[in-house]
Each structure stands twice: as C-alpha cells, then as structure tokens.
C-alpha cells in the first residue's frame, strides 16, 4: 500500500510548490507577451507550435520543481489525423500535457477562462470552443457546430466529458457531446485516461511528487455509431484504466 504523506513531506511539497508557481507564473507572463507580439505575423500552425513550447516547458518545470513525472502507454495510437480526444479531468496538468501530443488541438472550455489575464488572452490564439456551462443545451449545440468546423480545419478537439474536474477516486459520468461531435464530424475518438490528480490535485495549490500514469486507447470508430453507446464505450475504457492505475500504485 502507498504510504501516507507525513508532515515533513507535506511541508517539502508546499515549499516546492511555491518554487513551481514562481517560475510558472513568470513564464506564463513572459511567454504570453511574446505570443501577443508575434501573433500578427504568424499563421495559426506557427502560433500553435509556439504556444505548445510553453506547455512543454511547464511539464518539465513541474518535474524539476515538484518531482512530477509521467509514464505513457499507447503512443502508437496517435495517427496525426483530426479526431475527438476524450479524457477524464482531475487537474490542470492534463490540459497542459495533452496539447503537446497532437499537431493541432483545440479545447472545449468554459468561457470564463478566456478572461484570465495573460493566460486566458493567449488561449484565444488556439481556437478554443468557449461555452457557457449554465446553458447545457446551447453548449452542446456550440460544441457540435464549432467542433465540426474545427475538425474540418484540421484540428482535433479535446473534450472533458465530465464537464468539470473530478477528484481522483471519485466516480465519473460522461455527457454525450464528444460522441455526437465525432459522429457529426465523421472522425474517430481517442480516449485518454490518467491519474494526474494524485500529484496535481484540482483546486489545490500544493503539488506532490510522483509518477502520473497516462494511457491512450486505440481509436473508437464513430461510423454508424449511436452516441449513447459510443459514450459508454469511452467511459468504460477510461474507468478500467483508472482501476488499473490504482491497483498498480497500491501494489
């Protein structure tokens, strides 16, 4: 069984988190100002690559400052073709990391994030689909319509179908929007399972050292699929991987 964190480990994690956020915040400001300066002179693919350079830095900085590593399986399932990426949502780590895996991916997110100084302003450069979560019906329509347009432009679309961050170990429940988008766009679904919440807990400042497990599924075909059945298939695959991660960590 995994040992509980003692007071000294908690203190060490808190100190390392302070160091992390100092570098994290400074890098966000500097990189976003750089992006604003070059945005008028760079096309979308070039802006995307430049933005993702910061994501790669942030993942490395989390490793150096907080001791957060990751191991990933299923990289062979990445084809480079536009698809709908479905992931469970436990923290900010996966929103940073998953963007680095695809040539171009836009995120479904709540529109309030675009108002965050520097970070949110730069997010606008990545063609996100920004929805109002207080109107689920309008949000679903926006996801399907704008998502289909993004797929047609060569983007993949990243969706967290739980709709919000879910604590590590809690039950998950998926909405059907991602499956409906895949069917509408005629593309495959790639499922991503991870347990980032154990190292980077959602809605908390302290980060903990450890190794995050990440798994990528084989593509799920949307051809002739039913949205409810396709959603259940994606959810079942992710749930099974989370059980495997938990069992491996406790062994």
Q: Across the 251 residues of the chain, what is the mean pLDDT of every consecutive 10-residue run?
A: 69 95 94 88 90 95 98 95 95 94 90 84 85 86 95 95 74 87 97 95 90 97 96 96 88 64
Tell me if 1 is assigned to some domain: no
Looking at the chain, the whole-number percentage of residues with pLDDT higher than 90 is: 66
Tell me if 148 is assigned to some domain: yes
Tell me if 36 is assigned to some domain: yes
Tell me if 94 is assigned to some domain: yes
3-state secondary structure of 131: strand
Position 251 scores a pLDDT of 64
Tell me if 15 is assigned to some domain: yes
Number of residues in the chain? 251
Tell me if 2 is assigned to some domain: no
CATH number of domain containing 227: 3.40.1130
For residue 229, how many other CB atoms are within 10 A of its CB?
11
Total structural domains within the chain: 1
CA atoms of 119 and 103, how far apart (whole Å): 21
Tell me if 221 is assigned to some domain: yes
pTM of the model: 0.90
Strand order in the sheet with 84-87: 68-73, 210-216, 189-194, 84-87, 156-159, 105-110, 129-131
Nearest to 127 by CA among 162, 165, 154, 101: 154
Task: Check if the beta carbon of residue 93 is closer than 8 Å to that of residue 142.
Answer: no
User: Counting beta carbons within 10 angstroms of the beta carbon of residue 6, is it exposed (0 to 12), middle (13 to 18) or buried (19 or more)?
Assistant: exposed
Position 5 scores a pLDDT of 72
Give the domain extent around 94: 7-250
């Amino acid at each position: 069984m995994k040992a509980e964190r003692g007071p000294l480990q908690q203190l060490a994690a808190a100190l390392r988190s302070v160091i992390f956020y100092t570098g994290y915040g400074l890098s966000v400001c500097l990189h976003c100002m750089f992006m604003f300066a070059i945005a008028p002179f760079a096309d979308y693919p070039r802006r995307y690559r430049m933005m993702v350079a910061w994501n790669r830095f942030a993942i490395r900085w989390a490793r150096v400052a907080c001791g957060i590593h990751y191991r990933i399986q299923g990289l062979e399932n990445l084809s480079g073709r536009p698809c709908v990426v479905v992931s469970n949502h436990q923290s900010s780590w996966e929103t940073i990391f998953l963007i680095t895996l695809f040539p171009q991916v836009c995120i479904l997110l709540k529109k309030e994030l675009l108002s965050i100084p520097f970070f949110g302003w730069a997010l606008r450069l990545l063609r996100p689909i920004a929805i109002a979560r207080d109107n689920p019906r309008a949000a679903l329509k926006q996801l399907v319509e704008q998502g289909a347009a993004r797929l047609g432009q060569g983007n993949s679309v990243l969706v967290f179908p739980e709709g919000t961050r879910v604590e590590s170990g809690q039950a998950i429940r998926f909405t059907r929007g991602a499956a409906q988008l895949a069917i509408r766009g005629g593309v495959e679904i790639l499922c991503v399972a991870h347990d980032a919440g154990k190292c980077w807990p959602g809605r908390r400042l302290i980060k903990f050292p450890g190794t995050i497990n990440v798994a990528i599924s084989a593509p799920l075909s949307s051809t002739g699929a039913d949205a409810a059945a396709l959603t259940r298939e994606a959810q079942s695959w992710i749930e099974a991987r989370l059980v495997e991660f938990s069992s491996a960590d406790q062994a």
